[in-house]
Structure 1
Amino acid sequence: MTDPLGAPDPGDALVVTPDVAIPRAELDAKATRAGGPGGQHVNTSSTRIELRWNVRTTRALDDARRDHVLARLAARLDADGNVRVVASEFRSQRQNREAAEARLADLVRRALHVPKKRKATKPSRAAKAKRLDEKRKHSEKKRQRRDFDI
């Protein structure tokens, strides 16, 4: 699965990131008939690919990453912990499988991404002074527009 340096072997795995690869043995692909228009060909050939991957039982992720992916993909998981991706835009099973695998890799890649923490900052003294000056000018402008009955 990995070479001596720890990089995943792309031959038997779906590479998600340089250090995460899903073994193809963990992917469950099922071909079904695609719906929609297309005439006789689409009604008789099973070109739609449904790809399932179990996040809970995978060996591709360590415990911390697994928990993070489970949390991020919670809405897409079924009761067993499977994430399901479907591809049916091509007329061949091979192309649809490649599309489904690419979609799954992108989905997991986005789920693995940890956003940077926001650093709290405070405005500078000059920024505070400018804001107060603008407020003063605005207030003065409004005050001058008032109609005084004397």
Structure 2
Amino acid sequence: MNINVTPELTFRTARSGGAGGQHVNKVETMVEGAFNIDASTLLTPEQKQLLHEKLANRINSEGILQVRSQTARTQLGNKQEVIFKINDLISKALIPRKKRIATKIPKAVVEKRIQFKKRLSEKKQLRRGNFE
């Protein structure tokens, strides 16, 4: 059964699996939400491109982000869970990554490394020198 909310977001229901007895076998509580990224009027073309890159493993070949929920006992609860998951995925994907600022190695660290190398070199020199 398909339920259209907007041209961007559609829901499909099916019977949930797992424990629950006869109730599970007769009620369609599992909800699968499909968000059409390409048809979205809320997103800019740059945001759509970013979503396609960051959520590539969750988006099918038609550009639809699919999310499913069957944790709640009611269809309404699962529908709310699907909407929450879609919002969460999109908002996290649209957060820009911070650029890494290269830091300079402190002089004390460089000096410590050089001193360690000198001590190791002296130790090896002492081992080598007594065989003549």
Per-residue deviation, 1:148: 9.3
Q: CA separation of 1:141/1:46 partners in 2, compared to 1, >3 Å: closer, same or farther?
A: farther
Q: Tell me which residue corresponds to 2:50.
A: 68
Q: CA separation of 1:40/1:147 partners in 2, compared to 1, >3 Å: closer, same or farther?
A: farther
1:35 correspondence with 2:17? yes
1:51 correspondence with 2:28? no
The higher radius of gyration belongs to: 2
Q: CA separation of 1:142/1:28 partners in 2, compared to 1, >3 Å: closer, same or farther?
A: farther
| Partner AA of 2:25 in structure 1 | N
Per-residue deviation, 1:74: 1.3
Tell me, which stretches of 5 or more residues in structure 1 are unaligned?
Answer: 1-23
Indicate the SS of the match to 1:102.
helix
CA-based RMSD of the aligned residues comes to: 2.3
Q: Which runs of 4+ in 1 moved over 3 A?
A: 140-144, 146-150
Indicate the SS of the match to 2:84.
helix
| Partner AA of 2:77 in structure 1 | Q
Tell me, which stretches of 5 or more residues in structure 2 are unaligned?
Answer: none
Aligned mates of 2:10, 2:122 — CA distance in 1: 69
Of all paired residues, the percent bearing the same amino acid is 32
Equivalenced residue count is 126
Deviations 1:86-127 (A, max 9, x none): 000111011111111111111111211211111122213222
